[in-house]
Structures are given as structure tokens and as C-alpha cells.
Amino acid sequence: MKRFVIAGTLVGALAFGGTAFAQAEKPNQPPPPPPPKSGAKTADTQVKKTTTHHAAGGNEQAGHTAPNPQPGTTTDPNAQATALVLGTVRIPRAVKADGKELPAGTYQVRLTADEAKPDAKGSSEVLERWVEFVKGGQVVGREIASIIPQAELRMVQKDRAPAPGGSKVETLRGGEFLRVWINKAGNHYLVHLVA
């Protein structure tokens, strides 16, 4: 019986010592991952799919070169492409229109077919047009008018608009500009003159 106890102790000591020796050779190493189940995706497969998504033009920050298409915020501009008489306004003091002197007086304002071709990206050229100030049948001055469709007015202007078919001329805060505002045929025409 002593032989069995000694043999059992010896086997136990060897087993414990071998495990301790194996652990001492590889300190702080995590156990290997379990083998994947059939049909499961490995991390390598997920990385490849992510990389392919980036290369195909995903919407992530890295590698994004072109802007995403944006939804339209307005309908197509409905400004008339031909010349149109907008109305008559009284300019109370001398101002500059297109860098030239425009004396105080009453003028007929006429929208031209000439687009201003703005440099601002996203601006619609048909909504930036030249207007002429006419007195006694002669064009006395001209300036660019911004055309704002009625449906978009609340997004652009906070002031009270003139009645349909009406106009108003007002000095803006600071006194540097005189604004001519004409409401005609569903559009608002804003002309800013340098005081």
C-alpha cells in the first residue's frame, strides 16, 4: 500500500510540476480563441468587407472626395426670363447704382433679361438679374436685383413685405444702404443701393 501512495504522490508531483513549468515558459499569454462554428464569420472576413466598403465609396470620412447629393430645398425658380416693368419708386436721396451716381427722384424700375451670373455656388442665375432705373424714357442707372419667390421669402427676409403689386424704399441699419423692395407677380425683387 505504501507503494501506491508513493507512486500516486510521485505522479501528482510530476503532473503539477509539468504544468507549472509550461506556464513559466509563456508568461501572460492569453488562451487561443475557440475554433469558429460553421457559418460564422471570422475577424479577417469582417475586415475585408469593411475595406471593400471603403474602397467602393462608402460615406465614411476617410477617402470621401465628392459631396453627397442633397435634396432640393426649393422648387425650380419661376422668375420671368424676359424684360418686365416692376413698378415706380421714389428714391429720397442720391445713391450709387452699379458704382455710378443715381440722383434722388422718382423712377420706373424695369427688370431686364440680363442675368447677373453670380459667383456664389448654388445660386440660381435666373434669380440674380439686372434692373434699370428709367426716368423720362432714359435709363439713368442699373443695379443687380435678387429675386425671391414668395414661397421662400420667410427663409430670407424677416421684415414686413410690401403688399402684392406694391413697393417700399427703406434705409437699412447703419445707413449704408438703401433697399428697394418690390412685390410683383408672386416674386419679391430686392435691390440694394449704396447710400
* Phi, psi for 182 (deg, rounded to 5): -120, 130
pLDDT tens by residue, 18-54: 555 555 555 566 666 666 665 555 555 444 444 444 4
Coil, helix or strand at residue 122: coil
pLDDT tens by residue, 98-130: 999 999 999 999 999 888 876 545 456 678 889
What is the Cα–Cα distance from 39 to 36, expressed in whole angstroms? Answer: 8
**Burial class of 115 by CB neighbour count within 10 A (0 to 12, 13 to 18, 19+):** middle
pLDDT the model gives residue 91 = 96
| Cβ pair 181, 188 in contact under 8 A | yes
Say if pTM beats, i.e. exceeds, 0.95: no
Residue 55 vs residue 26, higher pLDDT: 26
| Lookup: cell for 62 | 476617410
- What DSSP string describes 19-82? HHHHHHHSTT-PPPPPPPPTTPPPHHHHHHHHHHHHHTT-SSSTT--SPPP---SSPPP---SS
pLDDT tens by residue, 147-193: 888 888 888 778 888 999 999 999 988 889 999 999 998 899 999 99
